[in-house]
Amino acid sequence: MTRQGLRKPPIPPIRPLPFPDIQGFAIMAIEHTFSIIKPDATRRNLTGKINAVFEEAGLRIVAQKRIHMSPAQAESFYGVHRERPFFKDLVSFMISGPVVVQVLEGENAVARNRELMGATNPANAAPGTIRKLFAENIEANSVHGSDSAENAAIEIAYFFAGSEIVG
């Protein structure tokens, strides 16, 4: 038998693509992003409605838990905003009730989730976005979503053990 006969077949693409790469394989970026359903939304019993937006857009909730953040957790999570004038209010808001922390999985999940969320200020958010649909104001804006893949990895690790993420 020749070596030719032993050659492994190429790994097939996961699904057909509109824009195959040079070898005809899928260019896919399956990512994880970190999400929080904030206290204004849990208070109004909107967890399911917000999750429906994620799921209808093709994002999978691969980890989720409802927690009440401690002041130290909220301060540390929003540490990048420590110098901003709204920092103290933001921490008070984030500890004012339960939140749902989540890991979302999907193609380009970080950017996709930011699109679904809409602008920080609901007054500027596009129609159909979570913040346009549900947010109360610029602070109580219903959801957090990671702004980069690097921050997603850091934020996920802050709230979840690897064993809690089940894709």
Active site members: 144
Is 165 strand, coil or helix? coil
Q: In the complex with ligand ADP, which residue's Cβ is closer, 103 or 140? A: 140
Structure tokens at 130: 């979570």
- Minimal distance, residue 115 CB to ligand ADP, in Å: 12
Of 15-23, 55-63, 122-130, 142-150, the window that binds Mg ion (rule: CB under 5 A) is 142-150
Query: Closest Cα to residue 155, out of 104, 116, 120?
Result: 104
Of 44-52, 62-70, 105-113, 138-146, the window that binds ligand ADP (rule: CB under 6 A) is 138-146
Q: What are the distances in angstroms from CA 126 to CA 19, 24, 34, 63, 110?
A: 28, 36, 21, 27, 18
Site string for ligand ADP, 118-137 (x = CB under 6 A): --x-----------------
Asked if residues 11 and 21 have their Cβ atoms less than 8 Å apart, the reply is no
Query: Closest Cα to residue 92, out of 140, 157, 141?
Result: 140
Provide the residue type at 127 as one letter: P
Provide the residue type at 160 as one letter: F
139 contacts which partner out of ligand ADP, Mg ion, none, CB within 5 to 8 A by kind?
Answer: ligand ADP
Distance CA 135, CA 141 (A): 4
Answer yes or no whether residue 148 interacts with ligand ADP by CB under 6 A: no
Q: In the complex with Mg ion, which residue's Cβ is closer, 53 or 110? A: 110
**Site for ligand ADP (CB under 6 A): which residue of 25, 61, 97, 139?**
139
Asked if residues 158 and 70 have their Cβ atoms less than 8 Å apart, the reply is no
Of 16-24, 37-45, 60-68, 144-152, the window that binds Mg ion (rule: CB under 5 A) is 144-152
- Minimal distance, residue 162 CB to ligand ADP, in Å: 25
- Minimal distance, residue 137 CB to ligand ADP, in Å: 8
Which residues of this chain interact with Mg ion, rule CB under 5 A? 147
